[in-house]
Amino acid sequence: MKNPNFLIIDSGVGGLSIWQEIQQLIPNSHTCYVADNGAYPYGTLEEQVLVQRLLQLLPELERQYQPDIIVIACNTASTVVLDPLRAQTNTPVIGVVPAIKPAAACSQSKQVTLLATPGTIQRRYIDRLIEDFGNGCRFLRIGSNQLVHEAEQKIRGKPVNRAIIHEVLAPLQDSHTDVLILGCTHFPILLQEIRAAIPAHIRILDSGAAIARRAQQLLIDLPPAEGKTRLPGNLFLFTAETEQAHLLEAGIKHFGFDKIRFFAPNATQFEQKSGAT
């Protein structure tokens, strides 16, 4: 398919790590990226609240931007919303789940650490992934919302608090872990800082490249998008116009988005944000 449309959604800018992988593998694609900052961060929401939020928000976005593929670029949301969302739409939906299987396959020490949000590590979905694909490995789980905020700070151009990163990752200093899974799409944004905070022998894995490959495969199998409007470029949407959202604009522009706009859920139109391109 030529010039496919993607709709990528996360509560913040973490999904940009997924968008970068898709852009690299499918450079002719165009994306509507939605930062649902009106419900940021997803990791702190009750499961049913999160599901209802996405089921109500996505139909209007899908109607207006006619994506060929929807990507739920949030591990927490993906653990709970994929089945109900797929029942609601005919558009292919890709979720992001922690790289449990490849991590377990490459671990020599048979000890793997999953770094994710508290909302992700406590899900039964993760238990099942480990049961099915853990390959006999022991899994240490570290949950942190602090690193989500540090990633957002980095996109704003603010200093990252390395002391927080070292504190969160301190359990790795005395463990036999040889593979660290970044189980939140925000965390690859902090890859350099995370790398510097853990022993050098630990391998770091995330799901970004696998998501891009899955999208590429789906596009091969999709029929021609007759009658669908092609996005003219890459659009970034916020669901709440806040001071923090405006502070993110400069960092977002560096990712190559053509427009940054504000979208009011349940409204019928998208509004150009003051000062946005």
Catalytic residues, by residue number, are 74, 184
246 in Cβ contact with 261 (< 8 Å) = no
Q: What is the separation of C-alpha 140 from the centre of its chain, rounded to a whole number of angstroms?
A: 22
> Which residue bears the tokens 């931007």?
65
Radius of gyration of the chain (CA): 18
- CA 88 to CA 108: how far, in whole Å? 42
49 in Cβ contact with 252 (< 8 Å) = no
Residues in a beta bridge with 116: 143
Omega before 188 within 30 of 0, i.e. cis: no
